Amino acid sequence: MKTEKAYFAAGCFWGVEYYLKSLKGVVKTAVGYSGGGASKPTYEQVCSGATGHAETVEVAFDPAVISYKELVRYFFSIHDFTQVNRQGPDIGEQYRSEIFFVDEDQKKVAEEVIEDLREKEYAVATKVTAFQKFWPAEDYHQEYYFKSGKEPYCHVYKKIW
């Protein structure tokens, strides 16, 4: 099986991981930090706002089962992409909505989906940024909702397409 990777930030990474992991074709997920300047940031450093990182989910997926475009559309369906630096009660730059593209094909797809949303008259605040580095979060953050038996409070699925 050939897998590809995608990186999404949409508020608290626990909820983003919860929803993305449920998709057929998603092989593996990890939560962590992307888009900042510090090396090996900790959760506390990221939450302080000093590193510039966003809470991010790394998604390994099988493109023969689910396309990158389907992932991007689903990403937009599980959070409020019109908010800047927040999701629900979580406020700060680390909770921003951002897609980190790994190549020009991913960038093009992300921009096309955003254009589709704008044509539907959504005010999209999501950034599209070149991927540089993913720093895995501490173990206790990985698969948090699956381990705790709780459900996301900042994310809900809403049908857009």
Q: Across the chain, where does the E strand assignment appear?
A: 4-10, 26-34, 54-61, 86-87, 90-91, 97-101, 127-130, 135-136
Is residue 156 domain-resident? no
> Domain tally for the chain?
1
In a domain, 37, yes or no: yes
Q: Please report whether residue 159 resides in a domain.
A: no
Please determine, for residue 93, whether its predicted confidence score (pLDDT) is greater than 90.
Answer: yes
Active-site amino acid positions: 12
Distance CA 99, CA 9 (A): 6
Q: Mean pLDDT throughout 89-99?
A: 96
CA distance 130 to 7: 10
Q: pTM for this structure?
A: 0.96
Q: Which domain holds residue 53?
A: 4-148
pLDDT in tens, 120-151: 999 999 999 999 999 999 999 999 888 888 88
Residue 154 lies in a domain: no
pLDDT at 12: 93
158 in any annotated domain: no
pLDDT, average across residues 77-99: 95
Backbone angles phi, psi at 27, to 5 degrees: -90, -40
pLDDT of residue 48: 93
Task: Tell me the average pLDDT of the chain.
Answer: 95
Residue 86 maps to which CATH number? 3.30.1060.10
Helix/strand/coil for 124: coil
| Closest listed residue to residue 114, CA positions, set 88, 63, 75 | 75
